[in-house]
Amino acid sequence: MAKAKKQNDPIVPPDAAFGGTQLSLFQSFLCNTEEEHDRLSNTIELWDSIPKYSVTQQQMNKARIKEGFLPRLEKTFVYKKDEYKVRISPAQIDDEDGGEKSYYPSANEEIIEDALRKIASEQNKGFFDAPEFKSGVVFSLNMLRNELKRRGHTRSYQEIIRSLNILAGSHIEILLPNGKGFAKTNYLPSLVAVSRLRWEEDPDARWMAHFHPLVTQSISKLSYRQYDYHLMMSHTSQLARWLHKILSHNYLNASLINPYNTSLSSIKRDSGLLECKRMNDEVRKLENVLQELIEHRVLFSYNKTDKRGDRNKIIDIDYVLAPHTDFVRDVKAANKRQQISKSPDTKALIN
C-alpha cells in the first residue's frame, strides 16, 4: 500500500478498536427501522461548529498568487458564548502540469468527511482505539463513491481522491478561548491509500483514515448527537447543510413554544458562508436557505426583526426560527439516545 503524500506512518488499529461499548454507542441510533437507521449519523461537538469549509472555489482562485499558492486563512467564531480562532493552512496538491497548487478544504471536502463519518457508523467500518486516543474508518473508494451517490452527491474516483488528499494535507489550528490552549493537526491526521494502479484494478481495495482528535474526543465523551444525515445531505446549499447540523446539535429544547433565536451577523460570523458584497445579498441568501429548510420540514416558519442604527440604517437582523414537528421529533429521539448513552449503567460498562 502506498501512503498519501506527506503523511506520517499511522498506527494500524488493533482488532479490539473495531468493537467496544463506546464505538457501539456511536454506531447505534434510536430508531424503529433499518430505513430510519440508514438516514442517521452523528454531529460532533465543537468540530461541526468550526467554519472550516467556508472558502469557495471562486474565492480560492481569486486569492491564489501567481505560483498557485494560498496564504494561511484565519477566522473567528463563537461556540457556547466563547470566542474561538481558527487558522487553516491549505494542502499542496499536484496539478496536471506537474507542479503544485494550494487548496483550502471546501464544500466538496465537507461532504466527503460527512460521508466518511456515516460509513464509520456502520459495524466493522469505524474504529475507536481508546489507549492510543485515535478514531477513524476503513473504507474503499467504491464504498465511499456509492455512499455519496446514494445521498445525491455523485463524484468521480479522481474527485474523491483529490478531496481525500486535501483533507489529509490541510492543517487546522484551533485556538481556545482566553489563551487556554490550542489544537494543531490536519483535518485527517492520517490517510493510508492504495496506489493509482491498484485502485484502477480494484476499486474495492481498502483505505484507512484517522479522524480529527475532536471527533475522537466526542466519541470518548459521548458528546455527539444523532441527526437526519440523509436529509442534511439533500439540501442544495452548503449554508443549509451547516445550519441543519448546528440546529441538530444545539437546539436541544426544540418546540413551537421554544423557538430558536439567531441573527444575520452571528450566522455570517460562525458559518463563514455569507461573504457577500452587500447586506441585501446576504439577507437574500440566508432567507433562501431558511425557505429551503421550511420546504424540507426542518423549520415550520421564521420571523425577522430589523436592528437599525444611525439614520435608520439596518445594521443587523434578528431571526426567530420555529421548528417543524418532524425536526422536533428528531431532536427528542436524539435527546433520548443521549440520555441512554450517559446513564449510570452505560457509564459503568465503559469504565
Give residue for cell 507542479. 99
Q: What is the pLDDT of residue 277?
A: 87
Q: What is the pLDDT of residue 198?
A: 64
Q: What is the pLDDT of residue 344?
A: 76
CA atoms lying within 13 Å on the CB side of residue 94: 7
Which of 226, 221, 195, 291 has its CA nearest to residue 36? Answer: 226
CA dist., res. 253 & res. 276, Å (int): 32
Q: What is the pLDDT of residue 347?
A: 60
Which of 26, 18, 28, 29 has its CA nearest to residue 208? Answer: 18
Q: What is the pLDDT of residue 155?
A: 96
Q: Going residue by residue through the chain (351 aa), what tens digit of pLDDT does each one get? A: 434 444 444 557 888 889 888 999 999 999 999 999 999 999 998 999 999 999 998 899 888 887 778 999 999 999 988 999 999 999 999 877 777 899 999 999 999 999 999 999 988 899 999 999 999 999 999 999 999 999 999 999 999 999 999 999 999 999 988 777 788 999 999 999 866 666 566 767 889 999 999 999 999 999 999 999 999 999 999 999 999 999 999 999 999 999 999 999 999 999 999 988 899 999 999 999 999 999 999 999 999 999 988 888 899 999 999 999 999 999 999 999 999 988 876 665 665
Q: Is the pTM of this model over 0.75?
A: yes
Q: What is the pLDDT of residue 9?
A: 47
**Residue 12 burial by CB count (10 A; 0-12/13-18/19+): exposed, middle or buried?**
exposed
Q: What is the pLDDT of residue 348?
A: 59
Query: In sequence order, what are the beta bridge partners of 191?
Result: 209
CA dist., res. 209 & res. 4, Å (int): 10
Q: Are 254 and 328 in contact (CB under 8 A)?
A: yes
Which of 31, 47, 141 has its CA nearest to residue 86? Answer: 47
| Domain map (residue ranges) of the chain | 45-223, 236-351
CA dist., res. 55 & res. 339, Å (int): 36
| Check whether domain 236-351 has CATH 3.10.20.30, yes or no | no
Maximum CA extent, the chain: 67
Supply angle C-alpha 237, 102, 88, rounded to 5: 70
Q: What is the pLDDT of residue 204?
A: 77
